[in-house]
Chain A
Amino acid sequence: AQSVAQPEDQVNVAEGNPLTVKCTYSVSGNPYLFWYVQYPNRGLQFLLKYITGDNLVKGSYGFEAEFNKSQTSFHLKKPSALVSDSALYFCAVRDIRNTDKLIFGTGTRLQVFP
């Protein structure tokens, strides 16, 4: 079965420190992977995607993600966290059988402390 796992419910980091939000996936074939962010009382906003090509993908707001096929991971990273990065982050993979659909992880709450 296809799935996405976000092993951490919450990640805490001090402002200015690097952050990592973890995501692993399980799909057959080549995955299409996404990261979305949800700020309080807002809808999901697209951050970045991996379709093919470079394993390091750059996205909005200084975020990047590294695709690692051998570890089936797609961790979200940022070199220097901001308090305003505090939000709920979702990893998602496109369903191989129904390419219209995204399969989401359960979300990771990122808290950046001043």
Chain B
Amino acid sequence: EAQVTQNPRYLITVTGKKLTVTCSQNMNHEYMSWYRQDPGLGLRQIYYSMNVEVTDKGDVPEGYKVSRKEKRNFPLILESPSPNQTSLYFCASKQSRAAETQYFGPGTRLLVL
């Protein structure tokens, strides 16, 4: 089944403790991105990647890092999480930069205490 998977689905952590949220897609998509969803704000893009080893900042990249060493994986790294990063995170992918439709993972709910 074609899908985007994320792990973990739920995570509670404390301020300053590094964490990684993994994202993987099995559709051989070139383009992947991370969004965060906050009440009243909709989804905002954090980072995106157009292909392996090509990443760029979205609208709200502060406090986040990403890497794209393999085509299928696009982990989101929080080096020193803070409470304002408590949010619902979605990974998404699409076939290419020109493709219109993005496919989203199930989401990761993060609570930073």
Whether B48 contacts A101 by the Cβ 8 Å rule is yes
Give the distance in Å from the alpha carbon of A114 to the alpha carbon of B16 in the complex: 47
**A-B pair number, CB within 8 angstroms:** 54
- The answer to whether B100 touches A43, judged by C-beta atoms less than 8 angstroms apart, is no
Contact residue among A4, A49, A105, A106 (Cβ-Cβ distance under 8 Å from B100): A49
**A75–chain B nearest beta-carbon distance, Å:** 17
**Residue on B nearest A46 in the bound complex, by CB:** B101
Q: Chain A residues with Cβ under 8 A from B40's Cβ?
A: 106
Q: Is A99 an interface residue (CB 8 A)?
A: yes
Interface residues of A in 57-114 (CB under 8 A from B): 90, 92, 94, 99-102, 104-107
Residues A32 and B100 in contact in the complex (CB < 8 Å), given A100-B50, A101-B45: yes
**B97 in contact with A46 (CB, 8 Å):** no
Assess the A100–B107 pair: CB atoms within 8 A.
no
Q: Is B90 an interface residue (CB 8 A)?
A: yes
A94→B98 CA distance, assembly (Å): 11
Q: Which of A4, A42, A44, A49 has the most C-beta atoms of chain B within 10 angstroms of its own C-beta?
A: A44
- Residues of chain B touching chain A, judged by Cβ–Cβ distance below 8 Å, are 4, 31, 33, 35, 40-45, 48, 50, 58-59, 90, 92, 97-98, 100-107
A-B complex: 4 closest residue pairs judged by Cβ atoms: A104-B42, A44-B104, A43-B104, A104-B43
- Can you give 5 A-B contacts (C-beta < 8 A)? A43-B4, A44-B104, A100-B31, A101-B59, A104-B35
* 7 new A-B contacts at CB < 8 Å, known A34-B101, A107-B42: A34-B100, A44-B92, A46-B103, A92-B43, A100-B97, A101-B58, A102-B43
